[in-house]
Amino acid sequence: MRRHAGFSMIELLVVLVIISIASALIIPMFGKGVSTTELKSAARQLASGLRLARSEALTQRRETFLVLDVAGRRFKVDQDPKEYSLPREVDLKLFTAQKDLVDEKVGSIRFFPDGGSNGGRITVASGERKFEVDVDWLTGRVAILD
């Protein structure tokens, strides 16, 4: 009888299962804390708030604001009583008109009754990954950029 050297299919499958379980348990321990999905979700939440503010400005024919607290990682749409929170691990940066900055940590993006805006950009980042929520000053259009 001649015996073939090598591994059986079962042995290879067992090793692959052990490696995948170990990877699933160990890799998240070394992560930065925020997944790309959570980061994109935060950007979408901000974009939704900006679109709500624009919609209110158009329908109620008055200036409307989205106020962003960069340090507290939360935002509020003008007369909406609810305050929306973003994940703690997310870094935020606000670029807007100088007159709409309350201080270094709080500012707003303004929408006008004609649908236009003062324009601006909110950067949602974690490490090297980032999404930018951009508001066009002329049209008030809100877009998420990678």
What was the pLDDT predicted at 6?
Answer: 73
Domain that holds residue 80: 36-145
Q: Is the pLDDT of residue 32 over 60?
A: no
Q: Is the pLDDT of residue 146 over 80?
A: yes
Q: Is residue 114 part of a domain?
A: yes
Strands of 45-119, DSSP E: 64-69, 74-77, 83-85, 91-95, 106-111
Q: Is residue 23 part of a domain?
A: no
What was the pLDDT predicted at 7?
Answer: 75
- Say whether 18 sits in a helix, a strand or coil: helix
Q: What is the CATH number of the domain that holds 79?
A: 3.55.40.10
What was the pLDDT predicted at 14?
Answer: 93
Which residue(s) pair with 69 in the sheet?
74, 106
Q: 26: which residues sit within 8 A by CB, 6+ positions away?
A: none
Q: Is residue 77 part of a domain?
A: yes
Q: Is residue 13 part of a domain?
A: no
Chain centre to alpha carbon of residue 2: 62
Q: Is residue 1 part of a domain?
A: no
Q: Is residue 76 part of a domain?
A: yes
Q: Looking up tokens 């299919």, which residue turns up?
A: 9
Q: Is residue 31 part of a domain?
A: no
- Rounded distance, CA 11 to CA 17, Å? 10
Q: Is residue 44 part of a domain?
A: yes
Span 72-129, pLDDT tens digits: 999 999 988 999 999 998 999 999 999 999 998 999 999 999 999 999 999 999 888 9
Q: 86: which residues sit within 8 A by CB, 6+ positions away?
A: 42, 45, 46, 73, 74, 75, 92, 124
Number of domains the chain is built from: 1
